[in-house]
Structure 1
Amino acid sequence: MTITRLAALGGCLAVLALAAAPALAEDLPDICGSVPEMDHPMMSQVPISSDEAHAALMQSMTSMSGMGVGMMAEDIDDAFICGMIPHHQGAIDMAKAVLDYGDDPWVKQLAQTIIDAQTAEIAAMRDWLARQ
């Protein structure tokens, strides 16, 4: 695996993600909103709250920061797995914030389902990596 290959793969994935963002945003309900200056479809038009619940939700996004690095692996299978682990961990962390601070029973049940499923998927991905 070369640094050049890693950088090229990371750059391609970033371009694809940016290109897909507007199309993905079209399918979101208005409640999801967007912040023009951030140009990210999942950010709310409402200013980011400083309350503990929203702080926990935003903090959970930091575990996804390793996604881009992981996806730079030379082998596409490795890149996929290495990118998905932090992505899944971010989803788990977000779901835990909802369990801690959420009110809606359906959303909390969905959060628990996500935690259970993605915890198992992370374990399977780590096992796969260990066998490589």
Structure 2
Amino acid sequence: MTHNPALLAVALLWTGVASPVLAQGVNGHGSMVGMEMGSTKSDAKDDASTREFKAADTAMMKDMDIPYIGDPDVDFYAHMIPHHKGAVAMARVALKHARDPATRAMAKKIIADQVTEISDMEAWLKRHGR
């Protein structure tokens, strides 16, 4: 089994970012209003890919800021759909700007997998009257 250092770095970063968010949800404070999102603010020095990644992050976080209803099945899908859509948006930015063949291949795989999963999750919600 080979390890992708870039993927590991993203996983570690996500773990560090996700922990406070998960802790808020566990405590019943699912809203992310007021959370520091400084890393997603555009800076005049940002290159095009950084601006586009930050825009995708901001949109994803906004779309994920929906209330939990206390139904773990519905809550899971309702929050994972915008999360997956954010992943697709970021993968599209990577396809537009990345040069490394492995990065581009991963972005294509993420788009293919996540689009299918989004469709499956939306269908589940529809079947369950949501």
Aligned structure 1 segments of 4 or more residues deviating by more than 2 angstroms: none
Matches within 5 A, 1:91-106: 91-106=87-102
Q: Deviation per CA, 1:84-114, whole angstroms, max 9, x where unpaired?
A: 0000000000000000011111001001100
User: Taking structure 1 as the reference length, what is the TM-score of the superposition?
Assistant: 0.63
1:61 matched to 2:57? The reply is: yes
State the 1:63 CA deviation: 2.9
- Within 1, Cα distance between the matches of 2:78 and 2:37? 26
In the comparison of the two structures, how many residue pairs are matched? Answer: 96
Matched with 1:33 is none
Give unmatched runs, 5+ long, in structure 2. Answer: 1-19, 27-35
State the 1:58 CA deviation: 0.9
Matched with 1:7 is none
Describe the shift of the 1:94–1:39 C-alpha distance in structure 2 as closer, same or farther (beyond 3 A). closer
Q: Percent identity?
A: 30
1:121 matched to 2:117? The reply is: yes
Matches within 5 A, 1:1-132: 14=21, 16=23, 49-64=45-60, 65-69=62-66, 72-132=68-128
Q: For 1:109, what is the secondary structure of its paired residue?
A: helix
- Within 1, Cα distance between the matches of 2:69 and 2:121? 15
State the 1:14 CA deviation: 3.7
Contact kept? 1:95, 1:114, Cα under 8 Å: yes
Q: For 2:68, what is the secondary structure of its paired residue?
A: coil
Describe the shift of the 1:66–1:49 C-alpha distance in structure 2 as closer, same or farther (beyond 3 A). same
Describe the shift of the 1:93–1:76 C-alpha distance in structure 2 as closer, same or farther (beyond 3 A). same
Give unmatched runs, 5+ long, in structure 1. Answer: 1-12, 20-37
